Amino acid sequence: MEGLHQVIDYNLEACCKAAPQQMDRVRRVVSRVPTEDTRCLKMFRKAVDTILSFAFSRFASSTMDLSSFTSEAERTRCGVPEQAEHPPSTMKTSSASRSNLLYYLLSLGKDNASYYQGHISAASEPDERFLELTAVLRVMSVHIPEVEQSAARLAETAPLFDFPGVEGNGYRSLLQIVDACVVKLLEANVYMRNNREKFHFRVHSSLTDIRNYVEVLGTLRAMLKYTERMIDVEVAAGTHDLFPGNTSDDDNSDLLEDWLLRVETLDQTCFFGSCTAFHVCPSIRAALHTITTALATFAEKYQSLELENPGSGPEALKYLGSNLLASRKFIMDPELKAQALVTSTRELDITFCKAFWSVSESRFFEPVHWWMLPKADLNREILIEPESFTLPKIALNEGEMEEEVFIKPPSAHIGERPLMVRLLSTRIREGQLFIDANDTVKSYKLPSRVLPKSDYLLFHAHGGGFVAQSSKACDLYLREWADHLQIPILSVDYTLAPEGPYPRAVEETFYAYCWALRYAHKLGWTGKKIVLVGDSAGGNLVFGVAFQAFAQSIRMPDGILALYAPLFTRYTPSPSRVISLMDPLIPIGILTRCLAAYAGLPEHVVMEDAVTEADEPTGSDDSTPSGESQGSWDRMSPSELRGVEEMESIPDSASEDQLKLQFNDDKPVNSDSTRTSQNRFPFVIPSAQDILSFTKPVTSRVSHGIQRATNAANRSYSFVADTAESLLQSRPSPARQRSNSVVNPNAPWTKMVAPLKRYNFDKIAANDPLLSPLEADEVMLRALPAVCLIATHLDPFLDDSVEMAKALKKAGYAVQLDLLSNLPHGFLNFLLVSEEARQGNALTIRRLRSLFGLDEPVLH
């Protein structure tokens, strides 16, 4: 009974902040229960449950849109009330409410740990699952104060980086992901607390869930520390740029390169197992689980074919059916899937990416499109021969003589070649009855009525990371657009990298745009209005088209719509780029290869000695440190150094007696940096030392359980070194020495991986707006037509759109920025499975109508 009183006391303080009247009523109920009567145990438990559940629901519903993170069934199970609708771009969680939720999570951890601690102390042979669970809950209690402190700083600073009137940037997105992880831990702990005494309760299942999300929380803790460094650079520079590496300051550039290497070495596997896509909406989460399973299976087949016959890896597509049968092992073991996926995305070449992303264009999906998508009377490919032609030049001043501009076919890298485009229209219009350059009509059933030419043409450039896909892969949403807008759509199939690196794709896209202006009568278009739209890589290309049209003084488009576009084509840190560590569609390894392939960069491994030493990651928890430079230790504060020395003093092979860890739970985790947080959270989960004190002489099985639990706790302290490094007063000096300190200093409790293959992005020409539209000057930006940008809060390229909107606003030009919640990069590809994706597509159609002038303009 005393334990229950303690739990009530721990939680009443937080609950009273939410609703004093409700908590007073609960106090009165609890005070009337005779505590000496053991029969009142269930009544006490019910009172505690009321307090805890009410705190969760009250905090969540008043400050946070939990519908973003949990399904209706999950919210009902945890007692969370229905949520009011919020605008898609609203991010509701405040710093105070986040702290309350974290405090509540600690209370649940204390309650669950105390319960199983009692079982450990009462048993002659403690269950190793109870030992591991208690240790994991203690790890959670170590992470939470640090997460709360970092999140509070980001929440305070993030609004400074917003586009005016729109709450959203990479810092806010990281906070949203942290909130999603906290909610998952809350659900798991609430479920354990409510069901742990029931006969059917499975400890192992709940332990697995809690352990997986505690590992995610630990990695997020490190990510928050890294983003704090970005804020430090911006504060020191007095700017609010989401790309702090976009500066001529060599000191900052070297420091950010060092931090980028550190992010790369974080182990991503925790994000791709059972926790895959935990931060996105449930309707897409299931689809992403399927995609990651397929990716891991395809990678396995790809590698086996490459070993048998180098160069035959792409033929894995032929074995699609058998691959699906082979995926059962990844379905049964999500952690095996995570390891296979991370390994393949970090190590396999760009050919693998091209092959896998081409799956959506296979014949397997054609029946789906036929039955479920709007019908199109015209959906034909047109081959444009490489020939020169002229277009009228736009007169800048009245009275100037009419001139013409000579348009040449693209020739970069691979010479002049025919270019394929796709013309799509729901109804046949005048002039569209041709297929090739000779104006010959291909035999197909003609419609009963041919519509007149449209005043509007939508010019589209597809995505695929510059290296994959074609207009056929976009059929899913192009048909939806054509059906709703009732206008023809012309989509260009530009040459893909690395066969045709920059500037081939942007040259071809511009050539196709000029061809559409020259031969408008063949497209069923009067030539009145044309809007450019591009998704992902295509969004980058349509800006390049507009810049070239301005440079050559030809007709500008009437509007531009870019969806989740990479507008800064450099491998540089930004808060949203960090999200690629957990993004199932464009993980960090693939992101790096795509940007390098488009830029035409050959692979160049930097710091070969350091990378060679890290080629065998420290997969063992008991590995020894591999040599930190003395200078780094000298830069640590005494409190930081003491914390690291305590960790190092743990022997590699420790007995139960030796494993009485030197974790002093009365001390702050980091005495200088978390003193406030420790006061905020006044209680501590029992330590491994406490666990061992409950045990009697143990068998080897229990000894193994203790070792597993202790190892789990040790791994949590991998972030002590990261925290210490983040507080260094000066940057490391030479690049090689700096890289060695990044790759090699894996402490005994750290599990890290080798850095990615390095590309010399410094070879990219600076200030090239055709490659990186974000680098365009104000003169070019002012020349642009009306621009709409659509991105998602969970997109690694979110910061690109935010910074482009800021640049356009600064140039004094019209721009509309829309940010969607809980959707991943490439959400348009999920229209058939996700209501949220369909809502995002509906917004896209509204923006297109606005750019064409069919609706009221929304630009500001």
Structure-model confidence comparison of residues 367 and 390, the more confident one: 390
Q: Tokens representing 721?
A: 């070194």
- Which range in 115-124, 535-544, 635-644, 663-672 is most confidently predicted, on average pLDDT? 535-544
Q: Is the pLDDT of residue 197 over 60?
A: yes
Domain 380-573+768-852 homologous superfamily, CATH: Alpha/Beta hydrolase fold, catalytic domain (3.40.50.1820)
Q: Is the pLDDT of residue 729 over 70?
A: no
Q: Distances from the Cα of 614 to the Cαs of 336, 456, 619, 678, in angstroms?
A: 22, 56, 11, 36
The pLDDT value given to residue 780: 94
Q: Distance (Å, rounded) from C-alpha 189 to C-alpha 485?
A: 49
The pLDDT value given to residue 813: 83
Beta strands 389-392 and 404-407, pairing class:
antiparallel
Q: By the 8 A CB rule, do 305 and 355 touch?
A: no
Q: By the 8 A CB rule, do 172 and 793 touch?
A: yes
Q: Is the pLDDT of residue 32 over 50?
A: yes
* Residue found by looking up tokens 């693209």 in the block: 410
Domain boundaries, the chain: 2-225+658-690, 380-573+768-852
Instruction: Work out the pLDDT band at 399, boundaries 50, 70, 90.
Output: low
* Residue found by looking up tokens 């080798």 in the block: 754
User: Which residue from 477, 531, 475 is spatially nearest to 843, judged by alpha carbons?
Assistant: 477
Task: At 786, give phi and psi (nearest 5°).
Answer: -60, 135
Beta strands 419-425 and 525-535, pairing class:
unpaired
* Residue found by looking up tokens 């949520």 in the block: 83
The pLDDT value given to residue 40: 61
Q: Is the pLDDT of residue 354 over 70?
A: yes
- H helices of 519-658, in order, are 537-551, 588-599, 608-613, 630-634, 638-648
Structure-model confidence comparison of residues 248 and 622, the more confident one: 248
Q: Is the pLDDT of residue 435 over 80?
A: no
Instruction: Work out the pLDDT band at 752, boundaries 50, 70, 90.
Output: low
pLDDT, tens digit, 9 for 90 and up, residues 646-658: 333 434 443 334 3
Residue 37, judged by CB atoms within 10 A of its CB (0-12, 13-18, 19+), counts as: exposed
The pLDDT value given to residue 403: 87
Q: Is the pLDDT of residue 412 over 60?
A: yes
Sign of the Cα pseudo-torsion (380, 384, 390, 393, in order): positive
Residues 6+ apart with CB under 8 A from 392: 402, 403, 404, 405, 554, 555
What is the residue type of 343?
T
Stretch 700-714: mean pLDDT: 44
pLDDT, tens digit, 9 for 90 and up, residues 567-608: 998 888 899 999 999 999 998 888 888 988 998 887 554 433
Lowest mean pLDDT among 65-79, 302-316, 489-503, 765-779: 65-79
The pLDDT value given to residue 727: 32
Q: Is the pLDDT of residue 206 over 90?
A: yes
Which pTM was predicted? 0.77
Q: Is the pLDDT of residue 280 over 90?
A: yes
Percent of the chain with pLDDT over 70: 64
Kindly report the average pLDDT of the chain as a whole number.
75
Q: Is the pLDDT of residue 743 over 80?
A: no
The pLDDT value given to residue 250: 52
The phi-psi region of residue 128 (left if phi > 0; otherwise alpha if psi is between -120 and 50; otherwise beta) is alpha
Percent of the chain with pLDDT over 90: 46
pLDDT, tens digit, 9 for 90 and up, residues 614-632: 333 333 333 333 333 333 3
Task: Concatenate the DSSP letters of all residues of 71-94 into one string.
Answer: -HHHHHHTTPPPPPP--TT-----
Instruction: Point out which residues pair with 404 in neighbouring strands.
Output: 392
Q: Tokens representing 25?
A: 């009523």
User: Which residue from 573, 581, 583, 606 is spatially nearest to 743, judged by alpha carbons?
Assistant: 606
Instruction: Work out the pLDDT band at 691, boundaries 50, 70, 90.
Output: very low
The pLDDT value given to residue 265: 84
Instruction: Work out the pLDDT band at 37, boundaries 50, 70, 90.
Output: low
Q: Distance (Å, rounded) from C-alpha 58 to C-alpha 11?
A: 13
Buried b (16+ CB within 10 A) or exposed e, 406-443: ebebbebbeeeeebbbbbbbbbbbebbbbbeeeeeeee
Structure-model confidence comparison of residues 482 and 396, the more confident one: 482
Structure-model confidence comparison of residues 532 and 473, the more confident one: 532
Instruction: Work out the pLDDT band at 146, boundaries 50, 70, 90.
Output: very high
The pLDDT value given to residue 683: 36
Instruction: Work out the pLDDT band at 447, boundaries 50, 70, 90.
Output: low
Q: Is the pLDDT of residue 87 over 90?
A: no
Q: Is the pLDDT of residue 15 over 70?
A: no
Instruction: Work out the pLDDT band at 96, boundaries 50, 70, 90.
Output: confident
Instruction: Work out the pLDDT band at 229, boundaries 50, 70, 90.
Output: confident
pLDDT, tens digit, 9 for 90 and up, residues 764-804: 666 899 999 999 999 999 999 999 999 999 999 999 999 99
Instruction: Work out the pLDDT band at 137, boundaries 50, 70, 90.
Output: very high
Instruction: Work out the pLDDT band at 413, boundaries 50, 70, 90.
Output: very high
